[in-house]
Chains A and B, each alone.
Chain A
Amino acid sequence: MSDWLRYLFLFVIVVLLQVIIGNNIHLFGVAIPFFYIYFILRLPLSLSVNWVMTLAFVLGLTIDIFSNTPGMNALACVVLAALRKPVLNLYTPRGEDYAEAVPSIRSFGMSLYVRYALTLSLCFCAALFLVESLSLLNIGRLIARVAASTALTFLVILGMDSLTKSGREKRL
């Protein structure tokens, strides 16, 4: 139960971070930090994919409502949620079992978590900006936006994870 509350709290925090701060940052005109995908990355691996996708959809739609882009963030979030397990399987050596883990630097180790977060940030940004550019396609700008936003989002996720780490350790 308290886990649920903790995730609800995290949900609210990432939504507020995104709509109040994230959506107003356009670093060099291209890079937008996506705070809120940290919520999806953080969901426990024991949670079924269907639940992860449902939560991702709700989260994306919430962001959409705030930024007047119905469907756009939700679609990218659902894609991200679906790719979470396959990406992890790609990087984990056979035999190592993370099935019950909550993804974080502490449980994964730095190198695996970096690969995990970076790949998923890239997938998310690619999906989001592809959907966005359906209305106005500009390849060069699209690539710049995806690359810059991926980098910024990745940094933000690392930062958020190291902030939540201390609390996690106390509980364990």
Chain B
Amino acid sequence: MTSVPMTQSSASERTSSEGPFLEVEDLTVTFPTEDGPVTAVSGLTYSVERGKTLGIVGESGSGKSVSSMAVMGLHDAKSAKISGSIRVGGTEVVGLGESRMRALRGNSMAMIFQDALAALHPFYKIGKQLEEAYLVHHSSASKRDARRKAIEMLDRVGIPQPDRRVDDYPHQFSGGMRQRAMIAMGLINDPSLLIADEPTTALDVTVQAQILDLLQDLQREFNSAVIIITHDLGVIAEMADDVLVMYAGRCVEYGTAKQILVAPEMPYTWGLLSSVPDVTASTDARLIPIPGNPPSLLRPPSGCSFHPRCLHSDKVRGDLCRTELPALLPASTGTAHLKRCHLADPVGVYQNEVLPEIAPDLVEETR
């Protein structure tokens, strides 16, 4: 297992003296199954500071959600084997007892899920569910205080007439309002870490824009660290400071949003960029899919796990891609940009081969 500690990353830019709020180091999550152990996440290392946003991208099954659920301590200790270290605000979370975990969860860290209708209880009023989240962590607060807080939070996330809507059931809310209500529930205890797992995937673009605005406003207000898990690279481009690209349970590229989306150096990231059309791209741009399907984690491919789908492995001498897992090493754009690839000259390949096909308009600009 290879991992590179992320200590030196662009420390000069930072103004706050305290370290990152969330530090994940060499995280490995394994689930035993009937067919053998499945390593859903292996050797994952990243960190998020307060006030910053980390975007995690990858296909389904790449370990994005599993790693975040490990941070929240949502894996059953009996069935999931977690190793490595997760420090939330200095507290080691791996191996923490359930009662102490519960004090952290929903209080200093919270999670927003993709499907708001499934995440809210259909039998209880929205207000009751918000109040419960508040009362659990404020044992001295009265019910009246909790209700006032619930109304205040609904107002804060932009629900009209919050004093009336607080007594509605989840089905009486529209999709966007439910998502807002869930964000209100996540933020009711002013968490310092907010994990948003595909927060806008099921929503219309206009509602998505409202929710993203809201997340940014709230982040600014509470100075919280935010992790956004999504497969929409547009959302990543507009929201994230840092980006982590995951494939088959491993980090394959890590850097600032600009480094990852403008100068990516890993063929999988190229594939992601080339397989989504863009609303402003040239119509001469080709849509180039990543061939094949994501690998089974039960029997991951040898060497670089992307090699069976990689179109550039022939440029690497010998059988390196097939036999040896590339280390996560600094890319050419700077030490904060890490990539896991054997390619000797990724910048050249990207500029000369990939970019002319996926963004012919950008090539002329850069030359």
Q: Say if A and B assemble together.
A: no
Interface on A for B, CB 8 Å cutoff? none
